[in-house]
Chain A
Amino acid sequence: GQSLEQPSEVTAVEGAIVQINCTYQTSGFYGLSWYQQHDGGAPTFLSYNALDGLEETGRFSSFLSRSDSYGYLLLQELQMKDSASYFCAALFSGGYNKLIFGAGTRLAVHP
């Protein structure tokens, strides 16, 4: 099957570092994406890992290990505006590529 698991909630303080983990079922797995969604907004693309290793984009980094069916999103120097829901989403290939989303992790950043 095709499913993803991530923690439902994470809390942190401004300036801290947070890691949001994501594990997935492997059938047809192609790559792992991360999205940010603020309340009332649309999902915004953050990163995509097709290969093992770390991808860094400013304060955000994403990691993928295909052998462990595991990835994470690392948020550094947290700011209040980072309070949002974060979704991992796996790209599965099966004639056409489709993106399957995890349940989402709600991040609350406190002063």
Chain B
Amino acid sequence: SAVISQKPSRDICQRGTSLTIQCQVDSQVTMMFWYRQQPGQSLTLIATANQGSEATYESGFVIDKFPISRPNLTFSTLTVSNMSPEDSSIYLCSVVSSTDTQYFGPGTRLTVL
């Protein structure tokens, strides 16, 4: 299984600011995914990040709000822009193994005041 780390693990931010979350994997992976989990809810896929191409966003999520970078096969960032309290969530990155198993990072717990 892949070992995934995320930074920061948690943050408290002011309304209107932006936060960039980093995701690092210990092996090269083709696809990385970003999910959001609002309090008490399930996981919702934000976008798929492929190296060398623009991220593919799910319905309800747009690049201006959640810009994603994928500079190489072991790293990705998700930025939450112009934050509001509704953006308070856990943000998780994940990767798919060669056996179609998806593994998750520890998550970034974001609180927007």
Interface residue ranges, A against B (CB under 8 Å): 30-31, 33, 35, 41-45, 48, 50, 87, 89, 91, 96-104
Count B interface residues, CB 8 Å.
Answer: 24
Report if A50-B100 is in contact (Cβ < 8 Å); known contacts: A42-B92, A98-B48: yes
Contact A48 B56 (CB under 8 A): no
Q: B59-113: which have CB < 8 Å to A?
A: 92, 94, 96, 99-107
Interface of B is mostly: strand
Choose from A42, A45, A48, A99 the contact partner of B33 (Cβ within 8 Å): A99
Contact A87 B43 (CB under 8 A): yes
Contact B101 A33 (CB under 8 A): yes
B45 within 8 A of partner (CB): yes
How far apart are the CA atoms of A98 and B55 in the complex, in Å?
A: 13
How far apart are the CA atoms of A35 and B102 in the complex, in Å?
A: 10
How far apart are the CA atoms of A102 and B107 in the complex, in Å?
A: 19
